[in-house]
Amino acid sequence: MLTKRIIPCLDIKNGRTVKGINFINLIDAGDPVQLAKKYTELGADELVFLDISATLEGRKTMQKLVLEIAAQIHIPFTVGGGITSVNDVEQLLKNGADKIAVNSAAIKRPELINELANKFGNQCVVVAIDAKKINNKWIVHIAGGTQPTQLTLFDWAKEAEQRGAGEILFTSMNNDGTKQGFANEALAKLSSQLNIPIIASGGAGTIQHFVDTFQKGKADAALAASVFHFGEIAIADLKNELKKQKITIRL
């Protein structure tokens, strides 16, 4: 059985870490370089950096900030936001990213997934999907969750896998920031339909929520932000409880 992973997420806007609820009402959560350093020391398995306003602002990911964070950590580092080409990814990997996450650009031009997988390998390519449950359908959104598309979560995730995605990072916009738990029903369905790892995102509020997403949602990794940023859940306590619950985890 694959070891489950705990992944703090740094949502970046204007060079600062931010956190909101349902993708709006953002508040400051601290300096991303300091947070990254703290998480690598506290036992996080990986780190995700999402430049959440890059696409909306029509610019590239903050390369200098990626370089600064990479210098402070020794765990796998995924970077997303504003990535539209092979050249963008080459620069991010040079600056210390291990994997990259694509979202809006891949939906606008799905061939991008093929190009990145062919050039850098499937293991490097994470396809991030922001989806909102509307009238019982999970509708994929782009541009930081501001624009609905015609795509549904399960169809798009399957296409992303077929095109070469190595992982799916699924954020439930309904659950995001609510601290009511992950979208485990949708996660379990994704897990049953795909052969690549699924990262659960959106809704972590308690240690039990992580237990549930691994046991009920069949997630391979769980990503969270505010519960870690504001010290509500300690990674060591979380991992100890997961181990008690017979969930395979790296201590």
**pTM attached to this predicted model:** 0.91
- Mean pLDDT for all residues in the chain: 90
pLDDT tens column, 152-168: 999 999 999 999 999 99
- pLDDT of 23 over the 70 cut: no
Q: Alpha helices of the chain — where are they, by DSSP H?
A: 32-42, 63-70, 86-94, 104-108, 111-120, 153-163, 184-193, 207-215, 226-229, 235-244
Confidence grade of residue 24 (pLDDT, cut at 50, 70, 90): very low
| Active site residue ranges | 11, 130
- Rounded Cα–Cα distance for residues 30 and 28 (Å): 6
pLDDT for position 61 = 57
pLDDT tens column, 90-125: 999 999 999 999 999 999 999 999 999 999 999 999
CATH class of 5-244: alpha beta
